[in-house]
């Protein structure tokens, strides 16, 4: 059986680990609330621009934007992978990257090539190890998502689509369902499907200023950007919740380990005392 001193140092070290995980849990809990608020404030813009895009697709103006027109066959697709910058958040990144891997393999078998945009460090590292063609990336987003940092990488993809280099565009991220549950999802961004925008009702059109083409182009680009911004905001909320849950589990596990170690420690201590007593008694009996 291990000596008393060794067990004591072990308990101490587990306690230190527990302190760290508990601190991380509390930090994540505080950040989670903010991240959720941010996710909610992003919603009105997304909904409003979706309404505008839906009206436009219903109005059938003289000009059909390439983003709305479907392509017959897809030879090359673009994927935007949203992941976290930091680790220690349970299976969050693993789950979404597993989904990405499955899809890429599926496309490979069908002879479809994939160009990737990585948002977040973990996804970038994964795509590189995989040997995927990473055309643009954005890392170090911090705790608040800023559209400013997303415009560049998204534009690379949108331009490639407009030029006809890509036939479809997908985004992968972790959807925030509630604090305990997050789900990796894949969503199609381009071509925009009409059922995504809602069915056709009513026949009326806007007055476009300066002209339909440039306004529609801007609305659709903003719409895609809003969708990606929403995905990043949700991913951040998911990240913080996942981290909080993971750190809570780690703290609980550390508590269990400490309990077990303390039991062993007390048993050895008692055994040592009993042994000493027995020796003293035996000694006294021998003298008397």
Partner 1 sequence: MAMTMHVDIVSAEETFYSGPAEFVAAPSILGEVGIYPRHAPMLTRIKPGSVRVKRAMSDEEDLIYVSGGILEVQPDVVTVLADSAIRGEDLDEAKAVEAKQKAEEAMKNREAVLEFARAEAELAEAIAQLSAIEKLRKKR
Q: Interface with partner 1 by CB under 8 A: which range of 81-89, 166-174, 190-198, 221-229? A: 221-229
Which one among 112, 186, 215, 264 touches partner 1, defined by CB under 8 A? Answer: 215
Binding region for partner 1 (CB under 8 A) out of 45-53, 71-79, 104-112, 277-285: 45-53
Binding mask 156-185 for partner 1 (x = CB under 8 A): x--x--------------------------
Residue with token string 């269990």: 256
Residue pair 198/55 in contact by the 8 Å Cβ criterion: no
CB of 130 to partner 1, least distance (A): 12
Q: What residues are paired with 134 via a beta bridge?
A: 116
Among 16, 218, 266, 274, binds partner 1 (CB under 8 A): 218
Check if the beta carbon of residue 167 is closer than 8 Å to that of residue 77.
yes
Is 122 in a helix, a strand, or coil? helix
Q: What is the closest distance, in whole angstroms, from the C-beta atom of residue 228 to partner 1 in the complex?
A: 10
Task: Name the residue nearer to partner 1 (CB basis): 117 or 251.
Answer: 117
Cα–Cα distance for residue pair 68/75, rounded to 1 Å: 18
* 205 within 8 A of 61, measured Cβ to Cβ: yes
Contacts of partner 1 in 136-155 (CB under 8 A)? 136-139, 146-148, 151-153, 155
Q: Residue 116 belongs to what H/E stretch?
A: strand 113-119
Helices 212-287 & 4-59, crossing angle to 10 degrees?
170
Per residue, the 3-state secondary structure of 140-180, as one string, reads CCCCCCCHHHHHHHHHHHHHHHHCCCCCEEEEEEEEEEECC
Radius of gyration of the chain (CA): 28
User: In the bound complex, what is the minimum distance in angstroms from residue 165's beta carbon to partner 1?
Assistant: 13
Residue of 214, 256, 270, 274 that binds partner 1 (CB under 8 A): 214
Residues at the interface with partner 1 (CB under 8 A): 38, 41-42, 44-46, 48-49, 51-52, 56, 117-118, 124, 128, 134-139, 146-148, 151-153, 155-156, 159, 204-210, 214-215, 218-219, 222, 225-226, 229
């Amino acid at each position: 059986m291990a000596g008393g001193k060794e067990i004591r140092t072990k308990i101490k070290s587990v306690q230190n680990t527990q302190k760290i995980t508990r601190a991380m849990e509390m930090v994540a809990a505080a950040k989670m609330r903010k991240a959720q608020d941010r996710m909610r404030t992003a919603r009105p813009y997304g909904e409003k621009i979706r309404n505008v895009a839906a009206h436009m697709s219903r109005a059938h103006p003289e000009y059909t934007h390439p983003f709305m027109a479907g392509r017959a066959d897809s030879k090359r697709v673009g994927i935007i992978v949203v992941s976290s910058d930091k680790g220690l958040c349970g299976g969050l990144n693993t789950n979404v990257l597993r989904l990405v891997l499955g899809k890429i393999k599926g496309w490979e078998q069908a002879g479809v090539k994939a160009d990737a945009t990585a948002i977040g460090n973990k996804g970038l590292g994964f795509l590189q190890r995989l040997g995927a063609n990473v055309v643009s990336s954005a890392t170090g987003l911090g705790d608040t998502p800023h559209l400013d940092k997303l415009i560049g990488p998204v534009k690379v993809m949108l331009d490639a689509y407009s030029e006809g280099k890509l036939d479809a565009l997908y985004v992968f991220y972790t959807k925030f369902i509630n604090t305990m549950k997050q789900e990796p999802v894949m969503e199609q961004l381009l071509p925009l499907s009409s059922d995504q925008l809602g069915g056709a009702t009513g026949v009326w059109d806007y007055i476009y200023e300066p002209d339909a083409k440039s306004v529609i182009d801007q609305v659709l680009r903003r719409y895609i950007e809003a969708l990606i911004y929403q995905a990043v905001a949700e991913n951040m909320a998911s990240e913080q919740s996942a981290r909080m849950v993971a750190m809570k589990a780690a703290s609980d596990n550390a508590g269990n380990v400490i309990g077990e170690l303390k039991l062993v420690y007390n048993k050895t201590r008692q055994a040592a005392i009993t042994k000493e007593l027995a020796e003293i008694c035996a000694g006294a009996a021998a003298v008397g």
